[in-house]
Structure 1
Amino acid sequence: MSRCRVCSHPIREFFDFERQPLSSAFPRTGELDEEYFFRLAVGMCESCTLVQLIDAVPPERAHHQGYPYHSAASSVMCKHFEQTARRFLETELTGADPFVVEIGANDGVMLRTCGDAGVRHLAVEPSGATGVRAHRAFFDAHAATRIRDADGTADVVYAANTICGVTDLQPVFEGLDVLLAPDGVFVFEDPYLGEIIERTSFDQIYDEHVFFFTVRAVGALADRFGFELVDIERLPVHGGQIRYTLARPGRREPSPAVADALRTEQAHGLAELVTLERFAARVQRIRDDLVALLHELRADGARIVGYGATAKSSTMANYCGIGPELIPFVCDTTPAKQGRLTPGSHIPVRPVEAFADPYPDFALLFAWNHAEEIMAKERAFREAGGRWILYVPQVHIV
């Protein structure tokens, strides 16, 4: 039986997406024999209720120099990280010589804003793709000791869409214990299980998301590693996230938002297996509805392309069996993905300029979490008679 990565109690599996590729490894035509696949199954710990992948991909395979996601590609995410930085500058980084560290900083949008304000900052980023001062390593006690000896303790350690992908969290918290100042805070934001269940956004489940946090599970996680959950904030980005603030025990008064969220989670049954089993049934229905719709549209002669070669789209396309026979290509703004194939499903990725050459009849929006931004940008597609296909929270056409 599988065991929880945090508390070692048994995990109850509730869904199996079967054979899946690395979601950010876009192969070239001649590299298909080198693709890595694993079983993507998800379960809940019977004790701490932490939802997690049954089998995880080794981190050295998932995070690499060619990792293709960059926050700066989205104006919405740029604004989000700039606002996050300004909030830290107004609250936590107000001392004589503040210091902020970001784990998994990607291309460093948040840290650059702090740096522009004169705040000392450092990224801890194994892929090396930051554009700011960086320590290239996975974050643990060894990395934290080197950083503390060189720069002192940190007032803020921050991580966005990173902690949920760390297979073994104990070294991270050991590093936090070394690096965090006595009154410092660890702030991280990740996809929220409550949103995933409410929206049936099952494509949030892929190799880079090992854990799917709830407020209850993060509280237990913090207690286990010698910290305290003192605040939470709901965020609209990436389909619904929560920003968690952890501190050393007794150093901060917990916000009422924590207790409120715990009551809401209990009322919604987020720690109950039956809730997850109902979610699983809805996932299967979405798959069946989407595949039937695509086949029906193609049979009627409609031209359909994909929009947004996201990591999420890997789970969607491979679980649903969507390949180039249904979607001849997918458009994406990321140069590193263009000219390659989508993981596992092998749909060609073309520049976004191909979307209008000519416009298709329908566009399957894989990047649904950026729907407002994309639809505003592609207004001419709608004006030309084109329609968007979405599958969150259910299959529908707009």
Structure 2
Amino acid sequence: MASCRVCRGELREFLDLGQQPVSDAFLEPDELDNEFFFHLQVAICGSCTMVQLVEEVPRERMFHNAYPYLSSGSAGMREHFERTARQFLATELTGPDPFIVELGCNDGVMLRTIGEADVKHLGVEPSGGVASLARAQGLRVRTAFFEESTAAEILDDEQAADVIYGANTICHIPYLGSVLRGVDTLLKPGGVFVFEDPCFGDIVAQTSFDQIYDEHFYFFTATSVRALAHRFGFELVGVERLPVHGGEIRYSLARKGERTPAPAVAELLSEEESRALGEVATCRAFADDVQHIREDLVDMVRDLRDRGRTVVGYGATAKSATVTNFCGIGPDLVPFICDSTPAKQGKLAPGSHIPVRPPEAFAESRPDYALLFAWNHAGEITAKERDFRDGGGRWIKYVPQVYVD
């Protein structure tokens, strides 16, 4: 029986999404024979309630020089990170010689605003390609995985940090014990550790099972984050709901006794208890809903194909790997996926081997339907692709259920 990576408690599996590829490992046609797969199963800890994957994918397979995801690729996310930076500048970075460290800074979309304000900063980013994009903007970035030893090196080279921040990063790291010890090493007395990641409560409410893939090892709740914090000498002192990526929570941790928890913390903990998010029965009911979505989506796409309708994909996201591989959707049902990321274009989507084409192919092909994998950016996408709707095209969506829009 597998045990919890945080507290060693007993894990209770509730969802099996089958054999899955590395979600961002887009392939050249001659690379198919060497593709890596793993078993994507999700479980909840019976002790600390942390929801997590059962099998860990080696981090070097996911985060490397060719990692294709760019945080600045969405206008909505660029605005989000600029607001985040300005919030830090107005609150936590107002003292003498302030210093912020961002874990998983990607292409520097958040740190850019910090740098423009002439505030000392450091990004820690293991993927060399995106780290180089951040450096090209004049940002200070260390190419490394953050852990306890990394924190000690940064402290020796720099100074203690007022803020340590991570966006869509902390949930990627199985070895959270080393991360929290590193935060304790590097964080200034009175400082704050802030991270934002997908919210398990929203995943359950929306049945957004495609948030589950190799990079997302943990699925946090305020309850499980509080237990994690206490284990390493911290307290959960702040929570904030965020509308990005289909629903996230921004958590703020401080050392015990250094800050007073905001009222929102108790409110969210109470809400999670009333929804029984820490109960395996709730998780298994969610898994049943996932199975229904798979059946409905496959039935719809097959029926459209059989009636001579064309369906293409929109957004070669990491999430799309979970959907296509779990549902068995390949080029016979969806002949290609359009995506604006140059590094993905001309390649094959992981596992499903659906070709990825640039956005121009979307307008040129004039499909009848588009399967929206990037549903968390639906407003931005549908506004950009207004001609598709005006020409009679329809969007297929599967969150929170399968429907045509």
Q: Shorter-chain-normalised TM-score: which range?
A: over 0.9
CA deviation map 1:270-306 (0-9, x unaligned): 0111111110110000000000000111111101100
CA distance in 2, matches of 1:52, 1:273: 13
Cα distance, 1:213 vs structure 2: 0.3
Listed one character per residue, the Cα deviations across residues 229-276 of structure 1 (whole Å, up to 9, x for unaligned) are 100000000010000000011110100000000110011110111111
2:112 is equivalent to residue 112 of structure 1: yes
Q: 1:140 aligns with which of 126, 134, 147?
A: 147
Q: Distance in 2 between matches of 1:62 and 1:333?
A: 20
Which residue does the alignment assign to 1:5? 5
How big is the shift at 1:367?
A: 0.3
Look up the SS of the partner of 1:108 in the other structure.
coil
**Mapped contact 1:23–1:311 kept (Cα < 8 A):** yes
Q: Deviations over 1:169-191 (max 9, x none)?
A: 11111111111000110000000
Cα distance in 1 for partners of 2:300, 2:150 equals 50
> Once the 2 structures are TM-superposed, how far is the Cα of residue 60 of structure 1 from its aligned partner?
1.3
Runs of 4+ aligned residues of structure 1 deviating over 4 Å after TM superposition are: none
Q: 1:157 aligns with which of 148, 159, 164?
A: 164
1:239-318 mapped onto 2 (5 Å cutoff): 239-318=246-325
1:13-72 deviations in Å (ceiling 9; x for gaps)? 001111000001001100001110000000000100000001110111111111110011
In 2: Cα distance, 1:108 partner to 1:153 partner:
21
How far, CA to CA, are the matches of 1:281 and 1:73 in structure 2?
34
> What's the counterpart of residue 166 of structure 1?
173
Deviates more, 1:129-138 or 1:328-337: 129-138
Task: Report the TM-score when normalising by structure 1.
Answer: 0.99
Q: What CA RMSD, in Å, does the superposition of the two structures yield over aligned residues?
A: 0.7
Q: How far apart are 1:84 and its partner, in Å?
A: 0.2
Aligned-partner Cα distance in 2 for 1:260–1:186: 20
Q: For 1:369 and 1:318, how far apart are their aligned partners in 2?
A: 19
- Contact 1:164/1:209, CA 8 A, preserved across alignment: yes
Say if 1:59 and 1:167, in contact at 8 Å, map to a contact too.
Answer: no
Q: Which residue does the alignment assign to 1:361?
A: 368
CA distance in 2: counterparts of 1:315 and 1:73, whole angstroms: 21
Distance 2:288 2:365 in 1: 38
Aligned to 1:219: 226
Deviation at 1:95, TM superposition (A): 0.7
- Partner SS, residue 110 of structure 2: helix
Q: What amino acid is aligned across from residue 379 of structure 1 in structure 2?
A: R
1:37 and 2:37 aligned: yes
**What CA distance in whole angstroms lies between the structure 1 residues aligned with 2:9 and 2:71?**
36
Q: Matches of 1:71 and 1:6 in 2, distance apart?
A: 28
Aligned-residue offset at 1:96: 1.4
Instruction: Tell me, in whole angstroms, the C-alpha distance in 2 between the residues paired with 1:225 and 1:161.
Output: 21
Could you list the runs of 5+ residues in structure 2 that have no partner in the other structure?
none
2:215 to 191, 196, 208: 208
1:121 aligns with 2:128: no
Deviation string for 1:95-151 (max 9, x for gaps)?
Answer: 111000000110011111001001000001111223121111111222112211222
**Is the CA contact 1:24–1:62 (under 8 Å) kept in the aligned structure 2?**
yes
Q: CA deviation at 1:358?
A: 2.8
Count of aligned residue pairs for this structure pair: 398
Q: Tell me by how many angstroms 1:211 deviates.
A: 0.3
SS in 2 for 1:319: helix
Aligned-residue sequence identity (percent) comes to 61
SS in 1 for 2:68: coil
Instruction: Please give the TM-score of this superposition, normalised by the length of structure 2.
Output: 0.98
Q: Distance in 2 between matches of 1:142 and 1:51?
A: 26
Q: Does residue 348 in structure 1 map to residue 348 in structure 2?
A: no
